[in-house]
Amino acid sequence: MKHPLFALALLVLAGCSGGLPALKVTLVDGIGEPLQPLAAAWRLGSPPLAWNALPTGQSSWSLPIPPGARFQVAFRCPSSGATDFYVSLDLQRNEVGNQLLVRCPSVYASPLASESGTLNVSLNSGQAFSARHQVALSGNTFTGLQVPQGNGREVAVFGFVLSGSTSTPHFGRLGSLTIPTPPPSLSLSLSPVTATLSVTTPPGFFSYAGLVLQSFVPVDLASWTGGLQPVPWPALQWNDLFQFWTCLGSSCAIRREYYAAVPSAPLSLTVPPLTLSASETHSPTALPTFSNLAASGFSPRLSFLGYAFFLAEPGVRYWRHFLSPGALGSATSYYVDVENAPGFAGVVPAVGSNVQLRATAFAGNQPLAVLLAQRPIPEETFSAHTLFLDRFWPVHLEAALLSASFTW
């Protein structure tokens, strides 16, 4: 099979006159804790230039990438049982700052501990949340909440107290926990939530509103099918994150704001009709080549941020890749030979296996450099699509989604 080749970047060391500082690349899990990969590689330029192996006994690397150069980084993340995870990015140096955080999916640095708790009120329905788990509850107790071990952990509870025909939302949080050595049962004090935030999304669009506490704990507040929705609005800390999103078919939008910056006035989120198209070809031993890549329909006030690709042989191997506008340039075809990097041959699906292919095109109101330097949020907004840009940072994103399944 023929694969498109891209112009090669100049192999100039960053220490040369006028060079940028070395790029610090850090591999983290979904709550921002460092991970050590099973394999790691990088290179300047594009195929057929050779990949360079990176040491694996560490979680961060300083790469001498000169201004304007195109480069790739790739990591084989820690496995989960027999399942392998690979992530890679193709970028230009001027599209990132001096720090690049790469998130591994599904695997975490800290083990979990099972916690129980008591509440000061009896809930008709509710949920208890940690950074990596949630459990449904009714009454004034919860059990089996899986909390990451370590210091500075937090647990939150959101639910409703029914009194006659009135259902009042309640919220509470308990932070600065050391896990697995808390009291035998956590004790949370919940307060009534009397304020609401009015959020409007397009009719018929599946919509969601929630929080991501600064301790990485996500809290679900409301989900609905478009239109005006009053969202319970608990008192929070200024740099907790409020997020809401809406999606129908291939057109989705996401908005995130620090709690202190959310206006009390009604919020609205609209989505223009978005399109993403591409064709895929592959050989049995190589990752896909994408042809006729095109995305359109994004709001004029947003800037194009690039593409994310996801290739899965479910339960066996998962590859996620991010392609920036600068790395693609004016090309409409794309191939990157991650399978040729040292330690990455296993990224290619087995012949005859059933695979899933996802692609996403992004536009946003924040520079790519800012987003890729921020810590991740623990839950992926749209599974298999948004991992790279799900970050703890105020942003307005639009995403065009494309999905397919076939036999490799």
Q: Does residue 93 sit in helix, strand or coil?
A: helix
**CA-based torsion, 306, 314, 349, 2: positive or negative:** negative
Does residue 17 belong to any structural domain of this protein? no
Distances (CA, A) of 126 to 114, 190, 251, 306, 323: 18, 12, 31, 38, 40
Residues 145 and 179 in one domain: yes
**pLDDT score at 10:** 25
Residues 97 and 200 in one domain: no
- Of 140, 162, 192, which residue sits at a domain end? 192
Span 246-274, average pLDDT:
95
On the question of pLDDT at 1 being above 70, the answer is: no
CA angle centred on 310, ends 392 and 290, rounded to 5°: 125
Q: For residue 106, give the DSSP letter.
A: S
Q: Evaluate whether 376 touches 30 at the Cβ level (below 8 Å).
A: yes
Structural domain that includes position 257: 196-268
Residues 104 and 117 in one domain: no
Span 337-354, average pLDDT:
98
Number of domains in the chain: 3
Confidence of residue 181 (pLDDT cuts 50, 70, 90): confident
On the question of pLDDT at 307 being above 50, the answer is: yes
**pLDDT score at 9:** 27
- Of 234, 268, 302, which residue sits at a domain end? 268
Q: What is the spatial distance between Cα 352 and Cα 269, in angstroms, rounded to a whole number?
A: 42
Tell me: the pLDDT tens digits for 45-76? 988 899 999 999 999 999 999 999 999 999 99
On the question of pLDDT at 11 being above 90, the answer is: no
- Could you give the percent of the chain with pLDDT greater than 70? 95
Tell me: the pLDDT tens digits for 120-146? 999 999 999 999 999 999 999 999 999
Q: What is the DSSP string of 10-77?
A: P---TTSTTPPPPEEEEEE-TTS-B---SEEEEEES-TTSPPEE--SS-SEEEE---TT-EEEEEEEE
Span 79-105, average pLDDT:
97
On the question of pLDDT at 20 being above 90, the answer is: no
> Lowest-confidence range among 110-114, 178-182, 200-204, 288-292?
178-182
Q: What is the spatial distance between Cα 4 and Cα 290, in angstroms, rounded to a whole number?
A: 10
Residue identified by tokens 């001096």 is: 98
- Of 159, 192, 225, which residue sits at a domain end? 192
Does residue 5 belong to any structural domain of this protein? no
As a whole number, the mean pLDDT across the chain is: 94
**pLDDT score at 19:** 58
Q: Does residue 327 sit in helix, strand or coil?
A: helix
* Cross-strand partners of 336: none
Q: Evaluate whether 51 touches 45 at the Cβ level (below 8 Å).
A: no
Residues 293 and 401 in one domain: yes
Confidence of residue 264 (pLDDT cuts 50, 70, 90): confident
**pLDDT score at 237:** 94
Q: Which of 338, 356, 335, 336 has the alpha carbon at shortest distance from 346?
A: 338
On the question of pLDDT at 5 being above 80, the answer is: no
Residues 402 and 327 in one domain: yes
**pLDDT score at 165:** 86
Residues 85 and 121 in one domain: no
Residues 123 and 209 in one domain: no
What is Dmax (Cα atoms) for the chain?
74
Q: Which of 220, 190, 183, 193 has the alpha carbon at shortest distance from 122?
A: 190
Residues 351 and 303 in one domain: yes
**pLDDT score at 4:** 29
Q: What is the pTM of this model?
A: 0.93
Q: What is the spatial distance between Cα 354 and Cα 312, in angstroms, rounded to a whole number?
A: 9
> Could you tell me which residue, 184 or 96, shows the higher pLDDT?
96
Residues 283 and 329 in one domain: yes
Residues 352 and 378 in one domain: yes
Distances (CA, A) of 250 to 360, 382, 384, 386: 9, 11, 13, 13
Does residue 250 belong to any structural domain of this protein? yes
Q: What is the spatial distance between Cα 204 and Cα 336, in angstroms, rounded to a whole number?
A: 38
Residues 139 and 89 in one domain: no
Tell me: the pLDDT tens digits for 365-408? 999 999 999 999 999 999 999 999 999 999 999 999 999 999 99
Does residue 9 belong to any structural domain of this protein? no
Residues 353 and 280 in one domain: yes
Q: Evaluate whether 105 touches 84 at the Cβ level (below 8 Å).
A: no
Q: Rg of the Cα trace of the chain?
A: 22
